[in-house]
Structure 1
């Protein structure tokens, strides 16, 4: 069984999803047209009776993946998974570095901007990296609700007590007395915790400093769990550059787990409550029991199937529709360092030249097939008359083992996509990846 195709009538009202074969016939006979690709939706060009059944939408919300499932009675009509972007913070940090180094480079004049601090203008403001993921969770639910006839919405959310996760015995006033209780600064707490002793040479006294176990540039946090005490003799530029401190910390010090995911899920839960007050919400423990009763393997889309409230499954697709966002533009106007093969930094490059969108009829993110093979993927960049191709999992597709580039003359274009990669893959392939 294949995933169903979403259908709307000629007035824009949602109908029951149909089988892919029926959708192909309707499109072939010019009785329908394609109106959406994510998810794939057709619109009828003639009148229909509009017969509808009870239908449910299950959503496994998350920080990295969103599981989606549409069920009706004892059938799973659609199952899919959305992979969210995790590079927003890194890209913003890169942009910040470019802007801060402008005074040392010859670049075009940019008019000064003032009073553009969005955080002070908006209520309930979120950092861009968090807002991106929250908005995608909400928008994908709205996308499916818009092509389903009065679906019952079921969403799994997470609720975490970070203080309890750190200290299971905490209670009462303990919630008001954090790690820094009784200390004026973070440095004062770290020095006292380590007994004013260098954690590398084990010597007391002298000039002591706090050092990050995992560098901020590698994703380390500024919390007390990621800081240790070192003396001035060990905390040197040479030790930093040679990685001695980093290696010692990795071997000797156990870093506590990050709570970014738990914090995000707490934020997302409140936003989903406000965005979908009509939804039925549940938590992961209940989903685990439901999935076990249905005898389903652990995955985001199977969680969504269980969340939808289906009691037994007689028909279920043997494939999963994967969605992944594609970044089409390189927004930086200039480069801070020279690329490989250049002797000087690229300070005079123009935006259009650095964002090649199409070559010889092919465009960025086109879904293509390499001739005389079964390899299919998306164009992720151009190099003269060649291009780079990746599959939905981010792996390069090549013809030879020596080169990543594939000549455009050796490709057949299957379909055009905007900024979302979409691929329907077998469940067995999904489990392998």
Structure 2
């Protein structure tokens, strides 16, 4: 049950995705050729006259990984999980910041000081957050080129933090609706790491607990809620938390500080939700949205496992779903390398020269190649990524290891595009 194969005709117009078995038959009969390896796309040698069936792209944006699903007539025909590199970008910027600060403290400025060039646009996002928007848009546009997409669904917000913090803003209908339990419980499970707040026990049934009891003036605000096992919940009862944890001052301090701390991943998603939504509108396709609570409600009702791509398939209004694939494409953003003219040590001092030329013998570092080695120690057929050298001896990294071979044995099957792929 692999992903359906994407199809374009001889004019590069998107056609209906087809079953992998049908695609294999077209390739064997010489009626089509491989156009792209990831996502696997074939190009027909004729103009397609079959009617187009509408397909919907569904997105589940995440802080570290985003889910993507293609839905055709309530059938999931394609799934993918896109892993972002926001943490790597943040670490690189912090490293650059520390090196520049060290240079300033040594009074070794390499250029004239500039202090009045730090204006930012009104919709500015931190680079680690902007990256999430850009990579998601890249893959939406890429799929639109190969698939007849008619609409897009986005999980606009994982948790509606304003509504959870002040449930009165939508009145009694929201407070008593069937989605309330899913929104609140999912938020608390993420915030308190799916364990009891008082005894740290895991893998047991957890209950929603009021830190300050309602009978003592507490509220239903999300900042007054935590998770507790049945034993701790009954033991605490309506006591003040200070009295209940009088002998555990460390636990008391941790709980009180954690109630004020926002959920980091949810905050990152909320920071980019409108930027992503506005960029999706630029595609010209109709956009629909849903919340994370509704996504979990749909997934639980349909009895589906918790994965990013299935979460994407459950975004918005869903009546039924038929899963036609169980091998999503795993995509990891790696970037396009560095523009540094020299390599540096951990203190920022140059220690080696970097080659200005990126392409050698028509290949560049990061390309996925098929290496058919016919002489030497590593005779065999390999598929992996290469690191190029000017002398023509390339390093090939594959799933079983790493070796060096001549460029003559390497044939490109997918150009470097800043992503790693697996199934």
After TM superposition, is the score higher than 0.5?
Answer: yes
1:132-151 matches, cutoff 5 A: 132-151=131-150
Describe the superposition over 1:119-149 as per-residue Cα deviations: whole angstroms up to 9, x where unpaired. Answer: 43x3412121111112222332232233322
Structure 2 matches for 1:337-348, cutoff 5 A?
Answer: 337=345, 347=350
Alignment of 1:414-425 (within 5 A): 415-425=413-423
Contact 2:63 2:268 in 1 (8 A): yes
> 2:266 — aligned with what?
262
CA separation in 2, counterparts of 1:294 and 1:388? 44
User: Does the CA-based 8 Å contact 1:67-1:302 persist in structure 2?
Assistant: yes
Kindly state the Cα deviation for residue 315 of structure 1 after the two structures are TM-superposed.
Answer: 5.0
* Cα gap change, 1:97 to 1:350, in 2 (>3 Å): farther
Assess if the C-alpha contact under 8 Å between 2:12 and 2:43 holds in 1: yes
Unaligned runs of 5+ in 2: 170-249
What per-residue deviation string (whole Å, max 9, x for no partner) do you get for residues 330-381 of structure 1?
Answer: 3334455379xxxxx863643317x876699784242568968999654478
Contact 1:362–1:413 at 8 Å: present in 2 too? no
Maintained 8 Å contact 1:155/1:281: yes
1:95 touches 1:332 (CA, 8 Å); kept in 2? no
Alpha-carbon distance change, 159 to 74 in structure 1, aligned in 2, over 3 angstroms: closer
Tell me, in whole angstroms, the C-alpha distance in 2 between the residues paired with 1:311 and 1:28: 38
Report the CA distance between 1:321 and its aligned residue. Answer: 0.7
Name the Cα RMSD after superposition. Answer: 4.5
- The equivalent residue for 1:294 is 302
Q: Which runs of 5+ in 1 are unaligned?
A: 173-249, 340-344, 392-396, 399-404, 426-433
Aligned to 2:366: 364
Name 1:401's counterpart in structure 2: none
Q: How many Å apart are 1:67 and its aligned residue?
A: 0.7
For 1:271-282, list aligned pairs within 5 A: 271-277=275-281, 278-282=286-290
Taking structure 2 as the reference length, the TM-score comes to 0.61
Counterpart secondary structure, 1:77: strand
Please give the alpha-carbon distance, in whole angstroms, between the structure 2 residues aligned to 1:127 and 1:143. Answer: 24
Label 1:64 to 1:381 Cα distance change in 2 as closer, same or farther (>3 A).
Answer: farther
| Secondary structure, aligned partner of 1:78 | strand
For residue 46 of structure 2, what is the aligned residue in structure 1? 46
TM-score, length-normalised on structure 1? 0.60
Most deviating of 415-424 and 155-164: 155-164
Q: 2:315 is matched with which residue: 307, 332, 337?
A: 307
1:156 aligned partner: 155
| C-alpha distance in 2 between matches for 1:421 and 1:59 | 19
Match of 1:389 among 369, 376, 397: 397
Q: Are the counterparts in 2 of residues 326 and 365 from structure 1 also a CA contact under 8 Å?
A: no
Q: How does 1:13-412 map to 2 (within 5 A)?
A: 13-26=13-26, 31-32=31-32, 34-86=34-86, 87-101=88-102, 117=117, 119-120=119-120, 122-158=121-157, 160=159, 254=254, 256=258, 259-277=263-281, 278-307=286-315, 311-314=319-322, 316-334=324-342, 337=345, 347=350, 349-352=352-355, 363-366=365-368, 377-379=384-386, 387=395, 389=397, 397-398=400-401, 405-408=402-405
Deviation at 1:49, TM superposition (A): 0.6
Counterpart of 1:186 in structure 2 is: none
**Contact 2:81/2:330 (CA < 8 Å) preserved in 1?**
yes
Q: What CA distance in whole angstroms lies between the structure 2 residues aligned with 1:338 and 1:138?
A: 34
| Cα distance between partner residues in 1 of 2:304 and 2:159 | 26
| Contact 1:162–1:259 under 8 Å retained in 2 | no
Contact 1:56–1:309, Cα closer than 8 Å, also in 2: no
Shift of 1:17: 0.8
Alpha-carbon distance change, 287 to 347 in structure 1, aligned in 2, over 3 angstroms:
closer
Give the 3-state SS of the residue equivalent to 2:350 in structure 1: coil
CA 1:338–1:153 in structure 2 vs 1: closer, same or farther (change >3 Å)? closer
Deviates more, 1:143-152 or 1:283-292: 143-152
Rounded to whole Å, the distance in 2 between the matches of 1:25 and 1:114 is 63
- CA spacing shift, 1:288–1:129, aligned 2, 3 Å: same
**Partner residue in 2 for 1:190:** none
Q: Shift of residue 389 of structure 1?
A: 3.3
Given that residues 32 and 42 in structure 2 are in contact (C-alpha distance below 8 angstroms), is that contact kept between their aligned partners in structure 1? yes
